[in-house]
Structure 1
Amino acid sequence: MEFAVSMTCNGCVNSVKKSLQGVEGVKSVQVNLDTDQVIVESSLPSSKVQSLIESTGKRAVLQGYGNNATQSLGAAVAQMEFGQRGIRGIIRLVQTNQSTCVVDGTVDGLPAGKHKLYVHECGDISAGCNSCGDVFGLTESKKEKPLGEIGNIEADRDGRSQFRLTNTDLKVWDIIGRSMVIHQGQDDTPKPYMPQIYNRLVCGIIARSAGLFQNTKKICACDGVTLWDERDKPVAGPGRKSKI
């Protein structure tokens, strides 16, 4: 994962390196003072890596997500802001190879406990999460696991869920324009699969986004907002920053 970090001297570089040194799940760290760039190879959710970097007092923005060794095959993002009031978050997806999709997210305001994460067929939020259609890839017989079933996430007692999941069925290029939906409660019901009946807490449209080394200046070129302005936008619920 690639972060832009506000650094001014070699002392800043050393502080950033020290904040990540010896942390379980962090495999390597590269810091470039000239470009304010920090590349971290890690199995941790990006929000946790960002929090470690910002423990130094430096602001950090996730600019790209992928594999440092090879160019990712596609990346996407869903801003989770439609549904029950007070639930907000960001979920990112990156296709690291032909068979692996990494799903990384932070969502605030959820009921404490386990919930289910799905990709739904439609990117239609005209009626909130109820217009997102069925789960993507749900078969007519409903006897097989649908392609859009990503897995369980868990919110702590403060309502925050930070997660990093891998999926061998999803392909990023197949789900651009569809929607990401969090259903309340863990799905432990007997089959057939009928995930459409569960309470839909929050949803967002899946949009194409920057992969590693593809977003050097701005979060979004269309609105001209600098990454530091975007970093400070409160989109993740009351009292939270977006952690974009």
Structure 2
Amino acid sequence: MSPPTKLEFAVQMTCQGCVEVVHKSLKDVQGITSIEVILDAEKVIVETTLPSETIKSLLEKTGKRAVLQGMGSSKVPSHLGAAVSILDTGSEMIKGVIRFVQSDEKSCVIEGTVDGLPSGNHTLCIHELGDISQGCKSCGDIFGEGLTEKVKGILRELKVGTDGRAIFRFEENQLKVSDMIGRSTVIHCGTVNPSKSAGTDQDKRLVCGIIARSAGLFENPKKICACDGVTIWEERDKPLAGGNRSNLS
């Protein structure tokens, strides 16, 4: 099991009754080790081994909107780095978000939710370049390909059912967040053969996105989205092209 991380959610709350409802929605859930609800700041801090999408779904079953604002380590007090990759290039049907947080000096927790994938087994990879100017074809080769027998950039095989959704969370010990920022995340159709994939796999790249630095715990106090001036709650409900932000935030 991957180590726990702390997740910081903005949750709409107006009274002590809201606090009690939110706390009850998370209490006694296996995989959650601590819950802190801060009414004045409209924040909920959860220490958990569950994916952030699972926690957000539990919070929103209360009828309140929730937005993930930061991730951090449960092991060390200082922030060691976090990143996010929005998968929205390469397919109008496939959308997703992958998050990375450095849990200690040696380990990185990677978690994500991707919708619209074809059923079957696919492979999550890190590619060398953060270039999507030509779609997923310009992301370069898989990171670390040809350097060692175990290719660092081949992360995990995803098993996708008929609903087209992949939810995952795992620990990675070969890469750090700092290694991945500025590169790209690509999901390949089928299983990747590291000895044959260099430069020959472009037609099998289903969806991709650049990996960018994201906020750690308490590093994102915004209530207004700088890109278009709307509140985080309005931004939370705006649809992505071909998808729904409410499934991907």
Q: TM-score over 0.5 for the alignment?
A: yes
CA distance in 2, matches of 1:120, 1:31: 38
Q: Which residue in 2 is equivalent to 1:34?
A: 40
Q: TM-score, with normalisation over the residues of structure 1?
A: 0.90
Superposed CA RMSD in Å reads 2.0
SS of the aligned residue for 2:103 comes to strand
Question: Which runs of no fewer than 5 residues in structure 2 stay unpaired?
Answer: 1-6
Q: Which residue in 1 is equivalent to 2:109?
A: 102
1:29-61 deviations in whole A, cap 9, x for unaligned? 110111111011111110011000100101000
Is 1:75 the equivalent of 2:78?
no
CA distance in 2, matches of 1:29, 1:171: 27
Query: 1:92 Cα shift?
Result: 0.9
Per mean C-alpha deviation after superposition, the further-off stretch among 162-171 and 233-242 is 233-242
CA distance in 2, matches of 1:79, 1:118: 14
Q: Which residue in 1 is equivalent to 2:187?
A: 182
Q: Which residue in 1 is equivalent to 2:4?
A: none
CA distance in 2, matches of 1:183, 1:139: 18
Q: Which residue in 1 is equivalent to 2:72?
A: 66
SS of the aligned residue for 1:30 comes to strand
Q: Which residue in 2 is equivalent to 1:165?
A: 170
Q: Which residue in 2 is equivalent to 1:206?
A: 211
Question: Which runs of no fewer than 5 residues in structure 1 stay unpaired?
Answer: none
Query: 1:144 Cα shift?
Result: 1.0
Instruction: State which of 211, 215, 234 in structure 1 corresponds to 2:220.
Output: 215
After superposition, the Cα gap between the structure-2 partners of 1:211 and 1:146, relative to the gap in structure 1 and judged at 3 Å, is: same
CA distance in 2, matches of 1:121, 1:39: 34
CA distance in 2, matches of 1:166, 1:63: 21
SS of the aligned residue for 1:131 comes to helix
CA distance in 2, matches of 1:209, 1:111: 29
Q: Percent same amino acid among aligned pairs?
A: 55
Query: 1:155 Cα shift?
Result: 2.6
Q: TM-score, with normalisation over the residues of structure 2?
A: 0.89
Asked if the contact 2:25/2:62 (under 8 Å) is kept, the reply is yes
After superposition, the Cα gap between the structure-2 partners of 1:66 and 1:219, relative to the gap in structure 1 and judged at 3 Å, is: farther
Asked if the contact 2:92/2:241 (under 8 Å) is kept, the reply is no
CA distance in 2, matches of 1:119, 1:219: 32
